Amino acid sequence: MEGPEALNAEPSKEYKPASVDELRTWLKGKKADVELHIDLSSLVDRNTFKTAARLVKGFIEINPVVGRAVFMKATLEQKDLEMNVFSSGITFVEAN
């Protein structure tokens, strides 16, 4: 059934919502629908980098999206400044 009449249709008796564990199992091995690549490696000032990294982390945490992968490019020195940023679902990519 398609179109506006589908909105008023009764749900199927066979429909059963997936549990969190079933959803996690299904998501394993799936490729991300959206990939965010953020490059902060050019920020020279330590405080500017810390602020930018924290803003990225905050944005990611308050806007959870299933199927999103986040990659942040930084130097090893920058990574050491804000280790907790990379423990919140943001993947570290080393700058050359």
7-56: pLDDT as tens digits = 566 656 666 677 777 767 766 766 667 788 999 999 999 999 999 999 99
Is 55 a member of any domain?
A: yes
Single out the residue of 92, 46, 53, 47 nearest to residue 69, CA to CA: 92
Residue 4 CB neighbour total at 10 angstroms: 6
Q: Domain residues for 67?
A: 32-96
Compute the average pLDDT of residues 90-96. Answer: 89
In a domain, residue 6? The reply is no
For residue 57, tell me if it sits in a domain.
yes
**Is 15 within a domain?**
no
Residue 7: per-residue pLDDT: 57
**Is 10 part of a structural domain of the chain?**
no
Whole-number pLDDT of residue 14: 67
**For the whole model, what pTM was predicted?**
0.61
